[in-house]
Structure 1
Amino acid sequence: ITEEMLRHKLNKLKIEKSPGPDGQHPRILKELKEVIAGPLADIMQQSLLEGSLSQEWKEANITAIHKKGSKNEPNNYRPVSLTSHVCKIMEVIVRDHML
């Protein structure tokens, strides 16, 4: 994972998205991409070399989103999980490299 790859992915973040459990808001990540791309690339590369992932990156906030119908009926909801944007970026870079 290179600094350039990471900078490119950080630049594509949708700033209206909510932060995950790590509290990292995509707007901040995008605005600070020039400062954080190098250190984050190093962290991600080390994570891949060690085969380990930060516990914070594994966590998700799960919330129920109403689909349609009565709001009193549990079957009318679907779960949505908010995960770390940093981890999602790492996953996309690895996936793109494998394909």
Structure 2
Amino acid sequence: MKESVIIPMITRAQVCRELRRLRPSKAAGPDEVSPRLLKVCVLELGDLLQRIVILSLEQGRVLRLWKTSCIIPVLKKPRPGELNDYKPIALTSHIIKTMEWVLLHCMMPSPPFP
């Protein structure tokens, strides 16, 4: 018998709100989708990404590429002499980050209004 899973109510407005919060100057992840593109095309992508989030939750699956990160070494010092002079930066997909924020806001209770 298959377990029933409760899928949170995810709206286009929630997805669009998170897309608008993206910082366009950030680097694209391994899927090569820039946050600038996502932010500019928010109205066109809202419905599509909402459906993708819901399908992903219903099927319990996420694209492998969205779970992948690219590790980029960034200099901490002007003249590197050893490996510790670099800090690792993980680039991940902005689409999956958006999906995670939408889900986080669905699961967190709303703050009380004063």
**TM-score tier (shorter):** over 0.9
Give me the CA root mean square deviation.
Answer: 1.2
TM-score, normalised on structure 2?
0.81
| TM-score normalised per structure 1 | 0.93
Residue in 1 that maps onto 2:112: none
Q: Which residue of 1 aligns with 2:44?
A: 35
> 2:78, 2:94 → 1: CA distance?
32
User: As a proportion of its length, which structure holds more helix?
Assistant: 1
1:37-58 per-residue CA deviation (whole Å, 9 max, x = no partner) reads 1011101111011111111101
How far off its partner does 1:72 sit? Answer: 2.1
Q: Distance in 2 between matches of 1:63 and 1:88?
A: 18
Residue correspondence of structure 1 range 13-52 to structure 2 within 5 A: 13-52=22-61
Q: Which moved more, 1:64-73 or 1:22-31?
A: 64-73
**Sequence identity percentage:** 34
Q: Which residue of 1 aligns with 2:21?
A: 12
Q: Which residue of 2 aligns with 1:97?
A: 106
Match of 2:6 in 1: none
Unaligned runs of 5+ in 2: 1-9, 109-114
Runs of 4+ in 1 over 3 A off after TM superposition: none
Q: Aligned to 2:66, what secondary structure does the other structure show?
A: helix
Would you say how many aligned residue pairs link Structure 1 and Structure 2? 99
C-alpha distance 69-31 of structure 1, shift in aligned 2 (>3 A): closer
Structure-2 separation of matches of 1:39 and 1:55: 19
Counterparts of 1:38 and 1:77, CA distance in 2:
40
Can you give the 5+ residue segments of structure 1 that lack an aligned partner in the other structure? none
Higher-Rg structure is: 2
